[in-house]
Structure 1
Amino acid sequence: MEFRDLKTQYQKYKQEIDSAIIEVLTKANYIGGKEVKELEAQLASYVGVKHCITCANGTDALNLVMMAWNIKEGDAIFVPDFTFFSTGEIVSFRGATPVFVDVDRKTFNIDTTKLEKAIIRTIEEGKLAPKAIIPVDLFGLPANFEEIERIAKKYNLLVLEDGAQGFGGNINGKMACSFGNAATTSFFPAKPLGCYGDGGAIFTNNDELAELLKSLKIHGKGDDKYDNVRIGVNSRLDTIQAAILKVKLSAFINHELEDVNRVFRLYNERLDGIVEIPFIPEGYYSSFAQYTIKLKSNEQRDALQAKLKENGIPSMIYYIKPMHRQGAFSYLDFDDKDFEVTNELCDTVLSLPMHPYLIEEDIEKVCNIINDFIKLQPIY
């Protein structure tokens, strides 16, 4: 059983993917080929924004927006504590200070009440200038953008949606990667929409920001690549990856997103009342980058993971260490009590196999093992 089954996906679309790659190889237009522009147009249309700017990876996508917004030393950027390292890393990379915020226990996303308190506390301390919020669409579920955007407007902050895991999700039909002042996603192979290497994209409705990002991602170019008008980076999505993504985007829209939600419902039917299952608020739709359950303790979680492994079932722990405990951020001052939810989640969450090609027989096997395990060891 695969945790994220890229092998079955490739076999299903092998002819289309191979043909797309061969066309790029035949034309030998590996950088900046027509497939890149075509993909950007398709992605922008799907998300419902004016501009999509592809780049080399999801971390670069975040960093490019930080560069475009001139985020610098002395700035405070508010980031959820329960997320992948890069969301906070790109803040420190620019010399700014990440201010970590605890998350909502049910949704895993940034707690908006605690977010506003963190902003007020930062303003009152007067050491840093609040500049932006980076909400993360964790495990495929969009963050609470209605409240986040209200708070951002109140305190004159920018919002950068980190949709690395959220691509395909929506809130009442408004797509993930269309919220805030800009949004990013990742095409890492295991993401909801992944390529066969690294890749990323930025989404925005702001014309000036889009033009600036196009310059920054190619060495700060002006009218051509030998006219450099600012300091930039080298961060481009190559044509082969774009060609692959065009095929996979079609599959994603046509059935994969619906199929992964079918898997979500089948899991829920079998695990509800056995373990704590994912919570999807009314009006929200998740792309389920992961299907994540909660156990009662660290000991129970680790024992269940071992039992699944004994039966050939892969599982993952996202994330075993909160952001505020990462060694790279040891120079920052924190009160561990401010992160009670994140600390608990790091000890109790477990992600099960989740992908559009998961068959019901495998779902049944996973759930039966979990059910039997909980019945034998109900109390920790």
Structure 2
Amino acid sequence: MSPMRIPYENLKALNKPFEEAFKLKFNDFLNSGWYILGNEVAQFEKEFSNYHDENYVVGVANGLDALILSLKCCNFKKGDEVIVPSNTYIASILSILQCDLVPIFVEPNVETYNIDPKKIEDAITSKTVAIMVVHLYGQCCEMEPIVNIANQNKLKVVEDCAQAHGAKYKGKLAGTFGEYGCFSFYPTKNLGALGDAGAIICKTEEDYIKLRQLRNYGSEKKYHNGIIGYNSRLDEVQASFLRVKLPYLNEINNHKKTLASIYQSNLNENFIKPIIDNDFDNVYHIYNIRHKERDRLKAYLSANNIDTEIHYPVAPHKQQALYQLNNLSYPISEEIHATTLSLPCSFAHTENDIRKVVEIINQFN
């Protein structure tokens, strides 16, 4: 009999502990007769804002829309520049392009994979209007120097927190440093819905009112449209599921940290592991390692019944969709994308699963 396969992710198993609560919530939703922007969205917004000790949260349809609407809220001019890491998921860059803005790539710190604050100032021009940071893999960016640079240059800070629910830098939560904290609740996230969903943390009542209009056809009052808006509303049923899981977010994060600590302590020196730094509270949305023979390592693990993923196989500036950037070179980003491998590390995995992965991967040569 072949050994049991260890999947990279198993969403059915991950959500099994919440299944009965989901069913009750769905019945409440169904019986309410109110399916769009109702009590569940309002309550989730309140609970998510309380979790972050912030005043204003706006639920939207997905993480990409959270980024787009945040940029739209700023009224930037066509052709204005937004600094963004060269090492990120393409959604960060798509949001900038969708707003007729120009992405200006800045290389990451090769140890953290996040944007390198030391390189940001060199990228600032007279057309720069914002810095979009991406808290990649579950670890916050080095926000103190980034916020200082933004303040000195009168730039907005937009945080892409899609992978960083509950992550902290110097005790402060991701999404609370800049003008906008943008979240995705895609099902694989640490706080995952059962479909697409997103939210924005903002700092002012003025932005809160405007974002609520932007997500709903530019309307705050039914059939009265004050601005040109979009249809990007957090779904009522997804909000109800998120309300079930939000009280368990810290438990989910702590479980993933425990699994990550097994990797950290037991993987041998053939693999580049995430750095540990007391300033950063990493929630390990993704536990990634790096190896110069990444593709051979991935095939070896698959042959040994261990599934892995690559986040991400192609650097953004090399994507066909961004053909106008294909001739640019960002060697640090390219090196990361060529060598990174994501290991199983989810709420559905057990400590024994991870020890088995370690046992097998340490035999790779």
| TM-score, normalised relative to structure 1 | 0.92
State the distance in 1 between where 2:51 and 2:171 align: 12
State the distance in 1 between where 2:363 and 2:332 align: 28
- SS of 1:331's equivalent in the other structure is helix
- SS of 2:243's equivalent in the other structure is helix
**Matched residue type, 1:330:** Y
**Matched residue type, 1:307:** Y
- SS of 2:133's equivalent in the other structure is coil
Question: Does the CA contact (< 8 Å) of 2:318 and 2:326 recur in 1?
Answer: no
Deviates more, 1:268-277 or 1:204-213: 268-277
Question: Does the CA contact (< 8 Å) of 1:276 and 1:293 recur in 2?
Answer: yes
Question: Does the CA contact (< 8 Å) of 1:72 and 1:94 recur in 2?
Answer: no
Residue 305 of structure 2 corresponds to which residue in structure 1?
A: 312
Which of 236, 251, 266 is the matching residue for 1:239? 236
Which of 44, 48, 72 is the matching residue for 1:39? 44
Q: Deviations over 1:86-136 (max 9, x none)?
A: 1011111111110011101111100111111111xx34xxxxx10000000
| 1:211, distance to aligned residue in structure 2 (A) | 0.7
Question: Does the CA contact (< 8 Å) of 1:107 and 1:280 recur in 2?
Answer: no
- SS of 1:134's equivalent in the other structure is strand
- SS of 1:196's equivalent in the other structure is coil
Q: Deviations over 1:196-216 (max 9, x none)?
A: 000000001211111100011
User: What is the 5 A alignment of 1:1-380?
Assistant: 1-119=6-124, 122-123=125-126, 129-222=127-220, 224-253=221-250, 255-295=251-291, 297=292, 300-332=293-325, 335-336=328-329, 339-373=330-364, 377=365
Aligned-residue identity in percent: 34
State the distance in 1 between where 2:275 and 2:80 align: 34
| TM-score, normalised relative to structure 2 | 0.96
Deviates more, 1:132-141 or 1:69-78: 69-78
| 1:332, distance to aligned residue in structure 2 (A) | 4.2
**Matched residue type, 1:60:** D
**Structure 2 runs not aligned, ≥5 long:** 1-5
Question: Does the CA contact (< 8 Å) of 1:77 and 1:130 recur in 2?
Answer: yes
| 1:2, distance to aligned residue in structure 2 (A) | 2.8
Q: Deviations over 1:26-52 (max 9, x none)?
A: 212211121111110110011121111
**Matched residue type, 2:129:** K
State the distance in 2 between where 1:327 and 1:115 align: 26
**Matched residue type, 1:263:** L
State the distance in 1 between where 2:319 and 2:326 align: 12
Give the root-mean-square deviation of aligned CA atoms: 1.3
When residues 49 and 272 of structure 1 are mapped into structure 2, their CA distance, relative to the original with a 3 A threshold, is: farther
Question: Does the CA contact (< 8 Å) of 1:141 and 1:280 recur in 2?
Answer: no
- SS of 2:252's equivalent in the other structure is helix
- SS of 1:330's equivalent in the other structure is helix
- SS of 1:159's equivalent in the other structure is strand
| 1:71, distance to aligned residue in structure 2 (A) | 2.5
Question: Does the CA contact (< 8 Å) of 2:86 and 2:107 recur in 1?
Answer: yes
Deviates more, 1:353-362 or 1:132-141: 353-362
| 1:334, distance to aligned residue in structure 2 (A) | 5.7
Count of residues in correspondence between the two structures: 360
| 1:289, distance to aligned residue in structure 2 (A) | 1.0
- SS of 1:198's equivalent in the other structure is coil
State the distance in 1 between where 2:186 and 2:207 align: 24
